[in-house]
Structure 1
C-alpha cells in the first residue's frame, strides 16, 4: 500500500513539474505562411461598393512606409501625394482617408490639414502613441495625435549636428525608428550629392533635448551604406541593412557583425553569409524576435519577402517568389507561390493580429501578409 502511495505521489509531482515547465517555456514564433492580400491598387479614387473589397476614397500614389497605432489602424506615408493617410483596419472596413498634409510640397508647420510635406518617407509612433514622427525632405516632423498640430523637431539648419532646427540633414533621411525606451529616434542617411561626397551616416535625435548627433559603429567596411533599420525590444541590438547584407550592431559598444549576406548581390537562400540579397528594402521583427523579415528587391531583382532566423541565421523566402514562375515586378495577391510584388519598402509587424504589412510603392498598395 505504501509503495502504491509513493508511486502515485511521484506521478503527481512529475505531472506538476511538467506543467510548470510548459508554462515557463517561451512561446516560439512560427514563420508567416505568406498569404498576401492588398489595400489600395484601385482603378480610381471612387469608393468601391463591393463589400468584399476595401472601401477606398483616396488611393495611394507611392507608399513608402507604414506605422500602426494602438488600435491597429495603419498610417501610411504616401510620398508622391505629399500626405500621410490612414487605413481604418480596426473595424474591418479598410477605409482610406487623408490624415495629414495639404497635398502641396513644403515644410510649413500647422494643423494636419494645412501643414506641408515634401515626400514623407518614414513613420514611427512614440511609445505612448501620442506623437507620430515623420521623416521628410531635409526634416523630421512630429504630429500631435491629440491636437492635430504638426511641428518640425529637427532639420533645416546650417550645422550637421546640433539642436533641433539648427541641425541639418542631407536630402531625404529615411528608416526613422524609435528606441523602446521612447527616448531617442534613429535615422539613416545614404545620399550621393552632385559635386560632393557620398554621405553615409546614422543620426540620433534625443527626444528630450532635440539634440541631433551622428553616431559611429565599429567594424563597418568603407563600402557599407546604411539603409533600413530596426531595434530589438531591449534596446540592445540594432539590425541594419545595406543593399546586400544585414548587420547586427550592439548599441552599447557600436560593434557591428554581419549576420546574413555579403558584398555580392544575388538571390540565394542559405545560412548567414552564404545567403544573397538584391537591394534590401524594409526590415521588421516578428513578435518574439525569432525572425527578421527582410524586403528583397527594392528597385531591382527578385521582389519578395525573406525571413532571417536570428537563432540559426538561416534565410528563407516567405512569399512573392516561385523559382518555376518568377514573374518579377508584377502585382498579384495569393499564396506564397503566386503572390507578386512590384517593390517593397517599409514594413511593420502587427503583433496583435500576427500580420506583416509592407509598402509596395509601384503597385500603389499596402500588402497584407499572414
Structure 2
C-alpha cells in the first residue's frame, strides 16, 4: 500500500500505522548537556559537597567559614549549622561581573581570602592579578589590579598587582596583599591609596633588623595581621615566617631558611619549615603556620616555641574523629583561627577543609574528597573535571577523557556513566591489570576501534594506553620518556613528548598527535611506529581524525588551520586562513578564520567538524568546502541547552566526535560538560528501502530519536517494524504486509 504524507496531518490507519504525527518542529541542531553538571552540593551539608583544591580559608566573628575553592573558581561559605553555599564566582575562569552580584562574577584561581568585622569579604583573585571585594549585600568590585597600570602612592584602583596569593585586613580596615609575583607586601589604606610595606620587588632573603621596604622576600604567599597591627608574612620560598612591626622593622619569627623539618619543642627561629604558604594569628598572638611541604600545621606560642598541632607528616587523608596530630594532611596551604581557638585548614590536595577543635580533635568541615562523582547514575548529574576528549562507538556509547580527574568515563546509550580507566589519582601504573585500578596522568584524548578497544592519549605519562574489551589495560605506544625517538621500531620503545590526540582507522592503524614535538605518528597493526610526513611545519597540533577513506585531518592549532593528509601523503589546508579569528561563515572554509582549533571529527558523509577553541565555537565544513558555525555564539559562558546550538554559549571546546547518526558531541572543557548537538533532519535522497543507509542523507538507518523528512518525489518502502520520532514533509511511504511504523 502507498501512503502520501502531507504536513499538518495526523493519521491513523489499519495499514499498520500507529499515531503517525507530522511535525514542522525545528529539532535540527539543538544542543543539550549529556554529561557533567554543576553539582557542587550547595544548599546541603558541607562535608558532602564538591570542593576542588581549596587554598584559602577565613572565619568571621560569628563562626562562618569562607573557603577559596580555587579550582572551582568560587568562594564558598559554610554556616554555623554546616550548610554550604557559593558567595562569589560562577565557576568559569575569567574576569567579569564588577558592580553586580558576586555569584554571577568570574574569578580565576582565587587563592587567599579575608573577612573584616563588617562582613566584607576580600579575595586574592590570583590569576586575574586582582584583589576583589564582596560586600555583605553580595555585590563585587575590584580594589586593585586586573586593568590598572599605576604604582605606589596613587589610587589602588589604578594600580597593578602580579599574582596576589594572600590578603588580610586589620582592625581599622587597611588591606594587606601578598603580591607573590613581585615578592612584596602591598597595603591599601582606608583612603584607597596603595603602597609597599615589605619587599623590594627582587626575590631573595635579606633585611632582618631593618626597614621592611628594604628587605627581600621570596614568593610571599600568605599574610596576617594581629590586633596591635603587626604584620606576619608566609615568606614561602625563603621557608620562613617574617614579622613587620608597627614601626616597619622586619624580622624572622619562624624558620631557619632550610627547606626541611625540625625544631618542635624549641624556639621557632631554630626550626625548619618547608614552603610555608599561610600564617594566621589568634587574639592572644599565637601563630598558626601552614607548613605545606611538611604536611603539617605548626603553632608558635607567645613565648616563641614551635610545635606541631595538626598532621603527622605523612601524605594522604585520615584521622577524622581523633587527635589532629595523628591525622594525615595532603599539602595544607591555608589556615585560619577563630577566637575560641578552633582553627581551619585548607587541605588542598585532599580537596577538603578540615576543622580542629580547641581540644585538638580533627574533622572534615567541607568537601567529600572527590573531584569526580556520579558513577552508576545519570551522566548529567556526574562531576567531570576539564573533559578534553570524546569518542563514540557503534553501540551508542560515549567515551570521555576526563582529564584532571585522570580517568576515562563511559556514558551508556541509556545515559548512565561509569569509569572504564583510571583510579582518579594521577600517576602511572596498572598495565596488565584491570583498567579501573590503573593510574593515568591527564588523559586528553580517546578513540574506539571497531571491536571495542579504547585508546587513550595518556598525555603526561607520555604513552598511549589501550583498554581491551575485557577491561585490561596496556601500553601500546611510548616508553614514558620526554623525547622524540623510535621511528621504525616497536611503538612501546618509542619516546613521545606530549601526546594529545589519538584516532584509529577502520583497519586498526593508530594515529597519534605529539603536540610538543609537532609531529603525527602512526602505529601499524603490527606495532611499528613511524612518522607521518607533512609538507608544512605544524605548530602545536592537538586533535586528529581519520575518514572512511583513510585521509587524516589535523587540528594545527598554532597555525590556526586544519590540515588534510591524504593516503598518498599529500598535505593541504582544508580550513583556516592562518589568522587567529573566528570569521568567514557562509564562505569557503579556506578563507575563514579559526581561533586555535583543537579538535576535529569527520562524519560518514565527509562533513568536517572543528572545535574552534579560542572562538568558543564549533564549526562545520561541508564536503563542498563551505564553513558555518553549528554550536557556540562566541561568548565564553554556559547557556543555551534546549535551544539551537548556535545560540548557546560554550567555554573552550576542546575535543569533538560525531556518531553514525550525525549527532555531534563536544567536550565543553571549561564548563566541565559534554554537550550534544542533535543531528539535522534526516532526509531521503532517493527512492529506496527504509532500512538501507543509501536511502538517507546521513548514510545511516534512522533511529527512534531521529526526525525524518520524506522529500517530494521519493518513495520509501517499509518492510519491517520501524520506530521513529517524527516524519515530516511530502513523500510516499510504501508498506509491505510486514511493515509497521511506530511513534
TM-score range, shorter chain: 0.7 to 0.9
Q: 1:286 to 1:46 in 2, by over 3 A?
A: closer
Structure 1 Cα separation of the partners of residues 114 and 217 of structure 2: 28
Structure 1 Cα separation of the partners of residues 59 and 41 of structure 2: 25
1:187 paired residue among 177, 183, 186:
177
1:268 paired residue among 250, 259, 262:
262
Secondary structure of 2:72's aligned partner:
coil
Q: Deviations over 1:228-269 (max 9, x none)?
A: 22211011x2122323222222132x2112222222121112
Q: Deviations over 1:121-169 (max 9, x none)?
A: 121122222x2111102111111112x2111121121223331331001
1:341 matched to 2:323: no
Higher CA-based Rg: 2
Tell me the matched-pair count. Answer: 296
Contact map agreement 2:89 2:104 (CA 8 A) in 1: yes
Structure 2 Cα separation of the partners of residues 306 and 342 of structure 1: 15
Higher RCO (CA < 8 A, seq sep 6+): 1
Gaps of at least 5 residues in structure 1 are 1-43, 192-198
| Cα shift at 1:359 | 0.6
Q: 1:83 to 1:203 in 2, by over 3 A?
A: same
Matches within 5 A, 1:73-92: 73-88=64-79, 90-91=80-81
1:138 paired residue among 120, 124, 129:
129
Q: Which residue of 1 aligns with 2:24?
A: none
1:201 matched to 2:184: yes
Matches within 5 A, 1:53-132: 54-55=45-46, 58-88=49-79, 90-91=80-81, 94-108=82-96, 109=98, 110-129=100-119, 131-132=120-121
1:327 paired residue among 307, 310, 314:
314
| Cα shift at 1:57 | 6.3
Contact map agreement 2:114 2:168 (CA 8 A) in 1: yes
Contact map agreement 1:245 1:263 (CA 8 A) in 2: yes
Contact map agreement 2:60 2:116 (CA 8 A) in 1: no
2:288 paired residue among 293, 310, 319:
293
Gaps of at least 5 residues in structure 2 are 1-38, 200-206, 358-743
Q: 1:255 to 1:181 in 2, by over 3 A?
A: same
1:350 matched to 2:338: yes
Q: 1:135 to 1:222 in 2, by over 3 A?
A: closer
1:361 matched to 2:344: no
Structure 2 Cα separation of the partners of residues 286 and 206 of structure 1: 23
Q: Which residue of 1 aligns with 2:668?
A: none
| Cα shift at 1:86 | 1.2
Q: 1:179 to 1:80 in 2, by over 3 A?
A: same
Give me the CA root mean square deviation: 2.4
Structure 2 Cα separation of the partners of residues 304 and 126 of structure 1: 27
Q: Which residue of 2 aligns with 1:20?
A: none
Q: Which residue of 1 aligns with 2:308?
A: 317
| Cα shift at 1:48 | 11
Structure 2 Cα separation of the partners of residues 233 and 316 of structure 1: 23
Q: 1:177 to 1:78 in 2, by over 3 A?
A: same
Q: Which residue of 1 aligns with 2:684?
A: none
Contact map agreement 1:247 1:260 (CA 8 A) in 2: yes
Structure 2 Cα separation of the partners of residues 86 and 258 of structure 1: 33
2:275 paired residue among 276, 279, 283:
279
1:242 matched to 2:235: yes
Structure 2 Cα separation of the partners of residues 335 and 65 of structure 1: 23
Q: 1:225 to 1:83 in 2, by over 3 A?
A: closer
Q: Which residue of 2 aligns with 1:28?
A: none
Q: 1:361 to 1:98 in 2, by over 3 A?
A: same
Matches within 5 A, 1:35-46: none
Give the TM-score of the pair, scaled to structure 1.
0.74
Structure 2 Cα separation of the partners of residues 82 and 263 of structure 1: 33
Secondary structure of 2:280's aligned partner:
strand
Q: 1:319 to 1:215 in 2, by over 3 A?
A: closer
Secondary structure of 1:229's aligned partner:
strand
Q: Which residue of 2 aligns with 1:228?
A: 222
1:211 matched to 2:200: no
Q: Which residue of 1 aligns with 2:459?
A: none
1:163 matched to 2:164: no
Q: Which residue of 1 aligns with 2:607?
A: none
Contact map agreement 2:183 2:217 (CA 8 A) in 1: no
Higher mean C-alpha deviation, range 333-342 or range 223-232: 223-232
| Cα shift at 1:283 | 1.2
Structure 1 Cα separation of the partners of residues 40 and 102 of structure 2: 21
Structure 2 Cα separation of the partners of residues 331 and 339 of structure 1: 5
Q: Which residue of 2 aligns with 1:150?
A: 140
Q: 1:337 to 1:140 in 2, by over 3 A?
A: closer
| Cα shift at 1:103 | 1.3
Structure 2 Cα separation of the partners of residues 66 and 267 of structure 1: 24
Contact map agreement 1:47 1:56 (CA 8 A) in 2: no
Structure 1 Cα separation of the partners of residues 255 and 234 of structure 2: 10
Secondary structure of 2:262's aligned partner:
coil
Give the TM-score of the pair, scaled to structure 2.
0.38
Q: Deviations over 1:301-360 (max 9, x none)?
A: x2011111232x221112211xxxx533444423134211001122111214x3101111
| Cα shift at 1:367 | 0.6
Q: 1:261 to 1:56 in 2, by over 3 A?
A: closer
